[in-house]
């Protein structure tokens, strides 16, 4: 049997290395799917919530929008106002109890993280949309673009770029917060660590390793997202074209 | 005289209790270049925004040729392509290059194919002297250049009327000329233009009519010669004295 801290750490890495990697993989998988699906949900909610209601719209239409908005606000408030660990319990056991749904823990986990992230993303996306200068919207309208053309071609591309750091932040939060899913026996990193530690009753050594793995995951994701952001910024320079679009010079840097 | 391109009849606009346009009546004929002058807050921008339907009038009618633009079934989209707008703050699409700024509307609104739209955009950008900058993003060009691109963006839709809302007011003085030059040559092509401006030289030399607005009404509507040299209204006189002194 190992005797010192480091011997234990080495012991666990040797014996449970694959275990840790599987757990980390599951964590990353749930966090990625949850963030992407959550972003899609949040963006859709935000787009619908920002549809303008005109004074001369029909009463039925106005009522319908009011109703839809109410539903969305309720969704956002409920999922942001309760802990994900509780949401996991309610949804996993509730779906079995109420509808006899036999969800696997993994499906339940993907559902919970997506819907939970969606609630945050809905607010982030809405913030991104309404922070775009009104002039952008008006200019698109003034050349005849419809609301949806304006959103798709002008507003959303700018809004999404602006909220990219927040999306990355949600991703990092999800990597950490999927650990609560061990309550419904999802075999993510925390769950795997707990079983390994329990077998030998060595919690400190195991969770020291777990801690390092979580950090490596979040740190690499953060760096990766910074790179993506840089890429999306586009080049600082542009090409000066001759009269018949023959490249003549490259201007470095921009104004402002 | 031909039929007016734009006719505005009893136009009224209120924001809450604030009556911004009281009872506006006027028309613009084909090839008219109308300068709209008046103190800040007199409702000039609101008038242009009502014409482009960025604001919905509280009451009154706007006719494009003989069609009431506020009638159900009227295609606002194709109307707006025909009646373009140039803003004080340019409002170029920040996510698109200079070329794409002038292309996106042609494709989405007019249904042109990309090749055709890019050729048209290129032609117009070269007219405003911006064809060298087609791959630049708005943040990479100067204010005067932005405004010339904004004018090109509106022109790419083949409009019959262009509305200009203080197109040179946000520009550094040394850039005002390049934009006014473009507008002057546009006026010569016979495009119908309504221009809210503080540039009295432009109003005198380029436009064939001047409208003086005061507190939500049109106080005078006449030739530049009449308004600038023989203003009928005391308030017009006061406004002109002030704007000449400020020069
Ligand atoms: N969206 C708005 N909401 C409330 N008041 C407005 C709005 N837009 C303009 N106004 C008011 O209408 C008046 C006229 O504004 P505007 O048309 O911009 O004048 P001008 O362009 O002649 O300076 C001002 O008193 C302004 O405060
Ligand atoms: Mg104004």
B18 lines ligand 1 (CB under 6 A): yes
H or E segment and range at residue A9 = helix A5-49
Say which ligand is closest to the CA of B167: 2
What's the angle, vertex CA A82, arms to CA A109 and CA A113, rounded to 5?
Answer: 20
Determine the distance separating the centroid of ligand 1 and the alpha carbon of B43, expressed in angstroms. Answer: 6
Asked if A56's CB is within 8 angstroms of B56's CB, the reply is yes
Work out the minimum CA distance from A60 to partner chain B, whole angstroms.
Answer: 18
Tens-digit pLDDT profile for residues A129-172 = 999 999 999 999 999 999 999 999 999 999 999 999 999 999 99
B52 lines ligand 1 (CB under 6 A): no
Of B90, B126, B135, the CB nearest to A238: B135
Contacts within 8 Å (CB) and 24+ apart, B13-21: B13/B43, B13/B46, B13/B50, B13/B55, B13/B57, B13/B58, B14/B58, B19/B216, B20/B46, B20/B216, B21/B46, B21/B47, B21/B50, B21/B57, B21/B216
B42 lines ligand 1 (CB under 6 A): yes
Work out the minimum CA distance from A255 to partner chain B, whole angstroms.
Answer: 5
d(CA A142, CA A149): 12
* Cβ(A21)–Cβ(A217) below 8 Å: no
Of A56, A142, A241, the CB nearest to B85: A142
Determine the distance separating the centroid of ligand 1 and the alpha carbon of A254, expressed in angstroms. Answer: 34
Tens-digit pLDDT profile for residues A10-40 = 888 888 888 889 999 999 999 999 999 999 9
Residue A204 has pLDDT above 80, yes or no: yes
Of B77, B97, B135, the CB nearest to A146: B77
Residue of the CA atom closest to atom 17 of ligand 1: B43
Q: What is the mean pLDDT of chain A?
A: 89
Asked if B131's CB is within 8 angstroms of A243's CB, the reply is yes
Asked if A241's CB is within 8 angstroms of B93's CB, the reply is no
A233 in reach of chain B (CB within 8 A): no
- For strand B209-214 and strand A238-241, is the pairing parallel, antiparallel, or unpaired? unpaired
If pLDDT is split at 50, 70 and 90, which confidence band does A250 have?
Answer: low
Asked if A143's CB is within 8 angstroms of B109's CB, the reply is yes
Which residues on chain B are in Cβ contact (under 8 Å) with A157?
A: 95
Q: Which residues of A214-236 are buried (b: 16+ CB within 10 A; e: fewer)?
A: beebbeebeeebeeeeeeeeeee
Which residues on chain B are in Cβ contact (under 8 Å) with A245?
A: 122, 131, 134
pLDDT of residue A121: 97
B89 in reach of chain A (CB within 8 A): yes
Pick the closest to residue B132 from B101, B100, B98, B156 (CA basis): B98
Residue A256 has pLDDT above 50, yes or no: no
Which residues on chain B are in Cβ contact (under 8 Å) with A55?
A: 56
Q: Which residues pair with B26 in a beta bridge?
A: B8
In degrees rounded to 5, what are phi and psi of residue A126? -60, -45
Place of tokens 């309404």: A130
In degrees rounded to 5, what are phi and psi of residue B67? -95, 130
If pLDDT is split at 50, 70 and 90, which confidence band does A245 have?
Answer: very low
A52 in reach of chain B (CB within 8 A): no
pLDDT of residue A220: 94
Query: Which of B108, B127, B161, B170 to probe by mutation at the A interface, max A CB count within 10 Å?
Result: B108
Ligand 1 atom closest to residue B166's alpha carbon, by position in its atom list:
21
Determine the distance separating the centroid of ligand 1 and the alpha carbon of A145, expressed in angstroms. Answer: 24
**ipTM associated with this complex:** 0.94
Token pair, residue B120, equals: 């048209």
Pick the closest to residue B14 from B46, B51, B62 (CA basis): B46
B245 in reach of chain A (CB within 8 A): no
Residue A246 has pLDDT above 50, yes or no: no
pTM for this prediction: 0.90
| Low-confidence residues of chain B: pLDDT under 50 | none
Asked if A153's CB is within 8 angstroms of B108's CB, the reply is yes
pLDDT of residue B2: 62
Residue A244 has pLDDT above 50, yes or no: no
Other CB atoms within 10 A of residue A173 CB:
16
pLDDT of residue B3: 80
Work out the minimum CA distance from A141 to partner chain B, whole angstroms.
Answer: 8
Asked if B104's CB is within 8 angstroms of A136's CB, the reply is no
pLDDT of residue A254: 43
A153 in reach of chain B (CB within 8 A): yes
Residue A229 has pLDDT above 80, yes or no: yes
């Amino acid at each position: 049997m190992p005797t010192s801290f480091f011997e234990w750490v080495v012991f666990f890495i040797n014996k449970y290395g694959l275990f840790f990697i599987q757990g980390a993989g599951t964590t990353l998988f749930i966090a990625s799917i949850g963030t992407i699906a959550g972003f899609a949900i949040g963006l859709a909610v935000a787009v619908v919530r920002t549809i303008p209601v005109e004074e001369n719209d029909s009463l039925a239409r106005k009522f319908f929008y009011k109703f839809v908005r109410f539903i969305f606000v309720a969704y956002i408030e409920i999922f942001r106002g309760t802990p994900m660990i509780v949401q996991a319990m309610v949804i996993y056991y509730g779906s079995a109890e109420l509808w006899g749904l036999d969800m696997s823990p993994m499906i339940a986990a993907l559902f919970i993280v997506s819907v939970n992230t969606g609630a945050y993303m809905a607010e982030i996306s809405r913030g991104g949309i309404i922070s775009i200068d009104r002039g952008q919207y008006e200019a698109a309208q003034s050349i005849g673009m419809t609301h949806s053309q304006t959103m798709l071609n002008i507003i959303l591309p700018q809004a999404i770029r602006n909220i990219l750091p927040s999306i990355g932040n949600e991703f990092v939060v999800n990597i950490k917060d999927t650990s609560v899913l061990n309550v419904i026996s999802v075999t993510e990193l925390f769950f795997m660590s707990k079983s390994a530690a329990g077998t030998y009753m060595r919690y400190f050594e195991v969770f020291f390793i777990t801690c390092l793995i979580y950090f490596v995951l979040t740190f690499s994701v953060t760096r990766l997202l910074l790179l993506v952001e840089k890429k999306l910024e586009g080049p600082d320079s542009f090409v000066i074209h001759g009269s018949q679009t023959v490249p003549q010079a490259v201007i470095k840097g921009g104004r402002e | 005289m031909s039929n007016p391109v734009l006719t505005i009849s009893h136009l009224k606009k209120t924001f809450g209790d604030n009556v911004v346009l009281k009872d506006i009546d006027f028309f613009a004929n084909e090839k008219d270049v109308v300068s709209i002058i008046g103190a800040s807050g007199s409702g000039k921008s609101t008038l242009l925004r009502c014409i482009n339907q960025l604001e919905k009038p509280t009451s009154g009618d706007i006719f494009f040729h003989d069609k009431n633009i506020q009638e159900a079934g009227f295609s606002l989209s194709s109307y707006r392509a025909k009646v373009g707008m140039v803003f004080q703050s340019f409002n170029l699409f920040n996510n698109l290059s200079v070329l794409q700024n002038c292309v996106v509307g042609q494709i989405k609104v007019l249904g042109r194919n990309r090749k055709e739209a890019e050729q048209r955009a290129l032609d117009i950008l070269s007219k405003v002297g911006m064809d060298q900058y087609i791959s630049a993003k708005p943040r990479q060009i100067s204010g005067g250049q932005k405004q010339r691109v904004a004018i090109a963006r509106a022109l790419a839709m083949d409009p019959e009327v262009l509305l200009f809302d203080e197109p040179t007011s946000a520009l550094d003085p040394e850039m005002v000329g390049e934009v006014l030059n473009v507008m002057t040559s546009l006026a010569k092509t016979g495009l119908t233009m309504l221009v809210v401006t503080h540039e009295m030289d432009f109003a005198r030399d380029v436009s064939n009519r001047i409208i003086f607005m005061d507190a939500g009404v049109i106080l005078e509507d006449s030739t530049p010669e009449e308004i600038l040299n023989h203003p009928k209204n005391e308030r017009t006189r006061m406004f002109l004295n002030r704007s000449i002194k400020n020069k």
